[in-house]
Amino acid sequence: MLNRSLRLILAALALGAAPVPSAWAEDVPTTPAAAASAPEATAPATGLDTRIQDTKGDVIRLNRDLLVLEEELLFPANTQLALFVSMDVGKLFELDSVQVKLDDKVVTNYLYTPAEVKALHRGGVQRVYVGNLRAGEHTLVAFFTGGGPHERDYKRGTTIKFDKGTDAKYIELRIKDSTAKLQPEFDVKVWQ
Amino acid sequence: MGKRLSLRVGAQRLGVALLACVCASAAVFAADAPPRTVQDPHYGDGLFHFYQERYFTSITTLMVSQHFERVSHHADEAELLRGGMLLSYGLHREAGEIFTALIDRAAAPSVRDRAWFYLAKIRYQRGFLPESEEALARIGKTLPKDLDGERVLLQAQLLMARGDYAGAATVLGALASSGAAGQYARFNLGVAQVKSGQEKEGRALLDGLGTTTLPPEDTDAGALPAEEFASLRDKANLALGYEALQNQKPEDARKYLERVRLEGLQSNKALLGFGWAADSMKDPKLALVPWTELAGRDGSDESVLEARIAVPYAYAELRAYGQALERYNDAITAFERESRDLDESIAAIRSGKLLEALLGGQRADEMGWFWSLDKLPELPHASRLAPVLATHEFQEAFKNYRDLQFLAANLNDWADKLGVFDDMLANRRQAYAERLPKLLAQADAAGLGGLQQRRETLAAELTQAEATSDAAAFADTQQRAQLARLAEVQAALQQAPADADPDSDTHRARERARLIAGALTWNLAQDFSSRLWEAKKALLATGTALEEAQGHQAALAQAQRDEPARFDAFGVRIKALGPRLQALIPRVAALQSEQQKDLQELAVTQLQRQKERLAEYTTQARFAVAQLYDRASLSSGTADHANKP
Is the predicted pLDDT of residue B606 greater than 70, yes or no?
Answer: yes
Q: Directed axis angle between helix B321-350 and helix B302-317, to 10°?
A: 170
Please report the pLDDT score of residue B18 as a whole number: 28
**Which of A165-169, B7-11, B203-207 bottoms out in mean pLDDT, i.e. has the lowest?**
B7-11
Chain A residue closest in CA terms to B428: A73
Half-sphere exposure in the Cβ direction for B459 (13 Å, CA) = 12
Report CB contact under 8 Å: B181, A31: yes
Is the predicted pLDDT of residue A18 greater than 60, yes or no?
Answer: no
Is the predicted pLDDT of residue A41 greater than 70, yes or no?
Answer: no
Please report the pLDDT score of residue B640 as a whole number: 55
Task: Please report which confidence band the pLDDT of residue B636 belongs to, taking 50, 70 and 90 as the band edges.
Answer: low
Task: Please report which confidence band the pLDDT of residue A6 belongs to, taking 50, 70 and 90 as the band edges.
Answer: very low
Is the predicted pLDDT of residue B551 greater than 70, yes or no?
Answer: yes
Chain B residue closest in CA terms to A46: B397
- Check: CB of residue B294 under 8 Å from CB of residue A16: no
With contacts defined as CB-CB under 8 Å, which chain A residues touch B232?
Answer: 28
**Nearest CB to B13; choose among A17, A29, A51:** A29
Considering chain B, what is the average pLDDT of its residues? 83
Give the closest-approach CA distance of A130 to chain B in angstroms: 12
Strand order through the sheet with A153-164: A105-111, A94-102, A136-147, A153-164
pLDDT tens-digit readout, B233-278: 999 999 999 999 999 999 999 999 999 999 888 999 999 999 999 9
More confident residue, B413 or B189: B413
- Domain ranges for chain A, please list them: 1-42, 45-74, 78-190
**Nearest CB to A59; choose among B61, B184, B410:** B410
Kindly write down the DSSP assignment for every residue of B241-276, as one continuous string.
HHHHHHTT-HHHHHHHHHTS-SSSTTHHHHHHHHHH
Region B19-38: mean pLDDT is 46
Report CB contact under 8 Å: B313, A5: yes
The Cα B108–Cα B201 span in angstroms is 42
Is the predicted pLDDT of residue B471 greater than 50, yes or no?
Answer: yes
Report CB contact under 8 Å: A63, B302: no
Is the predicted pLDDT of residue B16 greater than 60, yes or no?
Answer: no
Please report the pLDDT score of residue B20 as a whole number: 35
Region B482-504: mean pLDDT is 83
Please report the pLDDT score of residue B645 as a whole number: 45
B51–A contact, CB cutoff 8 A: yes
Percentage of residues in chain B having pLDDT higher than 70: 88
pTM across the whole model: 0.74
**Residues pairing with A82 in the sheet:** A130, A170
The Cα B536–Cα B530 span in angstroms is 10
Nearest in space to A171 (alpha carbons), one of A127, A119, A135: A127
**Nearest CB to B269; choose among A9, A15, A28:** A15
Q: How many residues does chain A have?
A: 192
Nearest in space to B49 (alpha carbons), one of A111, A65, A125, A84: A125
Region B464-482: mean pLDDT is 88
Report CB contact under 8 Å: A8, B27: no
| Residue B127 CB neighbours (<10 A) | 16
ipTM of the shown complex:
0.81
Chain B residue closest in CA terms to A39: B125
pLDDT tens-digit readout, A91-132: 788 899 999 999 999 999 999 999 999 999 999 999 999 999
Alpha-carbon torsion angle B515, B518, B519, B520, nearest 10: 120
Nearest in space to B281 (alpha carbons), one of B256, B309, B245: B245
Quick one: B2-283 is in which CATH superfamily?
A: Tetratricopeptide repeat domain (1.25.40.10)
Please report the pLDDT score of residue B394 as a whole number: 85
Is the predicted pLDDT of residue A155 greater than 60, yes or no?
Answer: yes
pLDDT tens-digit readout, B525-546: 888 889 999 988 998 998 888 8
Please report the pLDDT score of residue B642 as a whole number: 53
Region A46-64: mean pLDDT is 90
Please report the pLDDT score of residue B108 as a whole number: 87
Cα angle B238-B240-B246, degrees, rounded to a multiple of 5: 100
Cα angle B601-B607-B609, degrees, rounded to a multiple of 5: 100
Task: Please report which confidence band the pLDDT of residue A42 belongs to, taking 50, 70 and 90 as the band edges.
Answer: very low
Give the closest-approach CA distance of B103 to chain A in angstroms: 22
Please report the pLDDT score of residue B224 as a whole number: 64
Q: Is B516 helix (H, G, I), strand (E, B) or coil?
A: helix
- Check: CB of residue B15 under 8 Å from CB of residue B74: no
H or E stretch including A141? strand A136-147
Region A150-162: mean pLDDT is 88
Considering chain A, what is the average pLDDT of its residues? 77
pLDDT tens-digit readout, A59-82: 999 999 999 999 999 999 989 999
Nearest in space to B49 (alpha carbons), one of B41, B38, B58: B58
Residues 6+ apart with CB under 8 A from B485: none
Is the predicted pLDDT of residue B19 greater than 90, yes or no?
Answer: no
Is the predicted pLDDT of residue B618 greater than 80, yes or no?
Answer: yes
**Backbone phi, psi, residue A107, to 5°:** -105, -25
**Which of B12-26, B132-146, B471-485, B534-548 bottoms out in mean pLDDT, i.e. has the lowest?**
B12-26
Is the predicted pLDDT of residue B294 greater than 90, yes or no?
Answer: yes
The Cα B90–Cα B503 span in angstroms is 119
pLDDT tens-digit readout, B188-230: 888 888 877 888 888 998 998 888 876 555 445 456 677 888 8
Is the predicted pLDDT of residue B586 greater than 60, yes or no?
Answer: yes
Half-sphere exposure in the Cβ direction for B147 (13 Å, CA) = 28
Is the predicted pLDDT of residue B611 greater than 60, yes or no?
Answer: yes
**Which of B8-12, B339-343, B631-635 bottoms out in mean pLDDT, i.e. has the lowest?**
B8-12
With contacts defined as CB-CB under 8 Å, which chain B residues touch A48?
Answer: 400, 591, 594-595, 598
- Domain ranges for chain B, please list them: 2-283
**Residues pairing with A131 in the sheet:** A81
Task: Please report which confidence band the pLDDT of residue B30 belongs to, taking 50, 70 and 90 as the band edges.
Answer: very low
**Residues pairing with A153 in the sheet:** A147
**Residues pairing with A137 in the sheet:** A163
B29–A contact, CB cutoff 8 A: no
Percentage of residues in chain A having pLDDT higher than 70: 76
The span from the first CA to the last CA of chain A, in angstroms, equals: 87
Region B494-517: mean pLDDT is 82
**Residues pairing with A176 in the sheet:** A88, A185
The Cα B390–Cα B14 span in angstroms is 7
B619–A contact, CB cutoff 8 A: no
**Which of B16-20, B87-91, B241-245, B356-360 bottoms out in mean pLDDT, i.e. has the lowest?**
B16-20
**Nearest CB to B121; choose among A20, A37, A51:** A37
Chain-centre distance for alpha carbon B553: 50
B580–A contact, CB cutoff 8 A: yes
Report CB contact under 8 Å: B21, A29: no
B142–A contact, CB cutoff 8 A: no
Please report the pLDDT score of residue B91 as a whole number: 84
Instruction: Give the domain A78-190 fold.
Output: Immunoglobulin-like (2.60.40)
Residues 6+ apart with CB under 8 A from A24: A30, A34, A38, A42, B188
With contacts defined as CB-CB under 8 Å, which chain B residues touch A110?
Answer: none
B473–A contact, CB cutoff 8 A: no
